[in-house]
Copies of this chain bind each other. A is one copy, B any other.
Amino acid sequence: MSTTPVTDLSRLCIHTITTKPWDIETAARNYSASGVKGITVWRDALHGRDIRKTGDMLRQNDLKVVSLCRGGFFPARDRRKREIAIDDNRRAIEEAFELGAKLIVLVCGADPSQSLEDSRKQIQEGIVSVLPEAISAGIRLAIEPLHPMYADTRSAINTIHQANDMSEAIDSPWVGVAVDVYHLWWDPNLEKEIIRCGKNNALLAFHICDWKSPTLDFLNDRGLMGDGCIPIRKIRSWVEAAGFIGFIEVEIFSTEYWKMSQNKFLYKIIDAYKKHA
């Protein structure tokens, strides 16, 4: 079942938020010096910068810009807030274009003051609204199903089944799904739905980290690969059986790891990637 270990770093991508204490210039320099080949940029890392020049800086560091994180947060009971969210997603598309990212990951959102069904409807409407701009800019949109513990405010899309359904309903080659092991590892339908996603040519991104036992914080206590109980290599084997050959992205939010020397943490990431990814 499990696939072979990765033998080099050619598919390793790191999210800027993983090494949050570093600014993007420091992150780029250090990732590059360590042989990392991809970077996913969180929008906060671009704050106050010329985005086009920042994209050039990343490429000069021999880093592929894998995606921009994140768009989404479409649902709101208040119509004006939904319009603001759609405008913000249009800005994200412009930023991705300037940066040279070909993909935006969507954390779809949810509004706890309305039903999940209403939030899902608004997510789909939001994606469809910004799709023309995404296509013009040559940028794909990846629906990222989030763990059910985030169903109140972060995403009403909580399984890959739902993400596949929505991607199929929108039915555009520019819209697909991001698979993150942290959100999906518990799902008994995961293998089947990853294969379905692959058949749709809709598997656009693969994010890894680990689930610690115990996990102490809802957001910022993710583990490094090997710290927890997620069968990362098994899930990678499914993702690859589905035809995915893109970057393997390390996305870790961790107060604990952010406290340590980020150079040491980067070393740990690379070591854990080789052992457990």
Q: Which residues does A use to contact B, with CB under 8 Å?
A: 112-113, 115-116, 147-149, 151-153, 158-159, 161-162, 185-188, 211, 213-216, 218, 228-229, 231
Q: Which residues of B contact A158 (CB under 8 A)?
A: 186-188
| Closest A-B pairs by Cβ, 7 of them | A112-B229, A151-B186, A148-B186, A152-B213, A149-B149, A112-B213, A148-B148
Alpha-carbon gap, A231 to B213, bound state (A)? 30
User: Are A229's CB and B148's CB within 8 A?
Assistant: no
A42 to chain B, nearest CB (A): 21
In the complex, the chain B residue whose C-beta lies closest to that of A117 is: B188
Of the residues B113, B116, B161, B188, contact of A186 by C-beta under 8 Å? B116
Complex A-B: 18 CB contacts under 8 Å = A112-B228, A112-B229, A113-B229, A115-B231, A116-B188, A147-B149, A148-B148, A149-B149, A149-B215, A151-B185, A152-B213, A152-B214, A152-B215, A152-B229, A153-B213, A158-B188, A161-B188, A214-B218
Alpha-carbon gap, A187 to B231, bound state (A)? 23
Of the residues B159, B185, B213, B231, contact of A188 by C-beta under 8 Å? B159
A271 to chain B, nearest CB (A): 21
* Interface class of chain A by DSSP: loop
A187 to chain B, nearest CB (A): 7
Q: Which residues of B contact A112 (CB under 8 A)?
A: 213, 228-229
Q: Which residues of B contact A162 (CB under 8 A)?
A: 188
Alpha-carbon gap, A214 to B112, bound state (A)? 10
Interface centre among A158, A188, A211, A231 (most CB of B within 10 A): A188
Q: Which residues of B contact A185 (CB under 8 A)?
A: 151
In the complex, the chain B residue whose C-beta lies closest to that of A1 is: B115
Q: Which residues of B contact A216 (CB under 8 A)?
A: 218
Alpha-carbon gap, A215 to B215, bound state (A)? 14
A168 to chain B, nearest CB (A): 15
Alpha-carbon gap, A188 to B161, bound state (A)? 10
Alpha-carbon gap, A211 to B211, bound state (A)? 22
Alpha-carbon gap, A115 to B191, bound state (A)? 14
Alpha-carbon gap, A231 to B119, bound state (A)? 14
User: Are B213's CB and A148's CB within 8 A?
Assistant: no
Q: Would A152 and B228 be within 8 Å (CB), given that A116-B188, A188-B162, A213-B112 are in contact? A: yes
Of the residues B187, B218, B229, contact of A215 by C-beta under 8 Å? B218
User: Are A214's CB and B153's CB within 8 A?
Assistant: yes
Q: Which residues of B contact A113 (CB under 8 A)?
A: 229
Q: Which residues of B contact A151 (CB under 8 A)?
A: 185-186
